[in-house]
Structure 1
């Protein structure tokens, strides 16, 4: 059992809280029974499982390398005051190509909670792929992972230069919708096609102008009250469900 914060394994696990550490190792950390099990059931490659000493763990965990640690070490590793007693180190999946006919493009969303919620909603709405553009928070950030509630493991998620990928999607037959307010038509007026891609943008500035110009059409959600706009995760959810109806 590991009891020291100075243990080399512990130091390596803690580095996974930083984007640099995840990039260098090709691994990320998930905490809690639900997320660890989602990673396993979705056939993601689990490098090792970290279990609090004395805690009962599911039988399937025995298929992997299990490291027993003290509660204080687990708190330190997970940076959680009340960890559930289990965590896993999971290998990152590197994807390059999209799958399916419904693609969500994300331009520079920076709040981890927003990104995680959007991925969870894309999963629920039946979207096939999520593409993260430049300036978007790392999808393997622990706050993003927690907000996805496991949907991270269900959907193909890849990073790409949206300026380069949008024209390629159009040549493949996709209609590209950009969520925007200027020169936009109501979502109720659009004709949904067989292959569709939706772009949502930064919390403060929205989708970048150079990307909006690449889209086939800008669309907006009707606002009936006095609010000027909607939170990006809420707006993304409304638009995705409208496109998939």
Structure 2
């Protein structure tokens, strides 16, 4: 197999461009980086191609059937991590549609890639299969994809407007809003009724509009600290809603 040795190679330029949101939107493609992330995504979404650094191609012999080998120094141009494993895939963004799952999330302007990735991973673990994102960081941002591991291939992630809450109400969801002045979540028992958990912006919480459309306001009790980050808060609440019946 020929070695890609130039940053001017069309495949390298294509992969590099996908670090920017506008190119991801224009092409419908995104980057997946890391051995486990790429392997877990195969068969779940359409993979356009796999790129291995020259070093990785020797280290991971037999892991992939079809791939391109890239000179190590050139591979740095397409990697988004400082300690890359030398494995990158260009993948097609899946067409997500809501499945009317028992549990769903509504994310109100989550801006930190790490928080969004953590939330998505926990959503998979807790069966919150539909995730509605209003004005959030791009789910295909490389930092989100890396933090979420392969979660984005296992969820229905839908960009939406705030008024989707009307539909969720009509679909029979109990709309639970996380807010600091809400009721203690650990003092509540959750039935098997469909539930939508709302998590708000890291700095400003949920908007007044979103809060008004909620049925119940819930919070986490805290001692010695004012708040937890959105990823931690969402994770604790999802487990409580899912398993405390």
TM-score computed with the length of structure 1 as normaliser: 0.91
Could you tell me how far 1:167 is from its partner in structure 2?
1.0
Cα distance in 2 for partners of 1:80, 1:188 equals 38
CA distance in structure 2 between the aligned counterparts of 1:40 and 1:151, rounded to whole angstroms = 13
Q: CA deviation at 1:181?
A: 2.5
- Root mean square deviation, CA, Å: 1.7
| Aligned length, in residue pairs | 238
1:24 partnered with 2:23: no
The answer to whether the 8 Å contact 1:131/1:158 transfers is yes
Distance 2:216 2:49 in 1: 46
1:199 CA drift (Å):
0.1
Deviation at 1:58, TM superposition (A): 5.9
Distance 1:79-1:147 versus aligned 2 partners, 3 A rule: closer
Match of residue 81 from structure 2: 80
Deviation of 1:59 after TM superposition, in Å, equals: 4.4
**SS, match of residue 213 in structure 2:** coil
Deviations 1:121-152 (A, max 9, x none): 11122222211112x10111111111112222
Partner of 2:155: 155
User: What residue is the counterpart of 2:64 in the other structure?
Assistant: 61
1:81 deviates by: 3.7
TM-score (norm 2): 0.91
* The one of 8, 11, 14 aligned to 1:12: 14
Say whether the 8 Å CA contact 1:14–1:77 is kept in structure 2. Answer: yes
CA 92–207 in structure 1, closer or farther in 2 if over 3 Å, else same: same
Q: After TM superposition, list the pairs within 5 Å mapping 1:196-211 onto structure 2.
A: 196-211=195-210
Please tell me whether the aligned partners of residues 118 and 233 of structure 1 are also in contact (alpha carbons under 8 angstroms): yes
Matched, 1:185 2:187: no
Question: How many Å separate the matches in 2 of 1:76 and 1:93?
Answer: 25
Residues 74 and 83, structure 1, Cα contact 8 Å, conserved in 2: no
Cα gap change, 1:32 to 1:170, in 2 (>3 Å): same
Q: Which residue of 1 aligns with 2:95?
A: 94
In structure 2, the CA distance between the partners of 1:165 and 1:58, relative to structure 1 (3 Å rule), is: farther
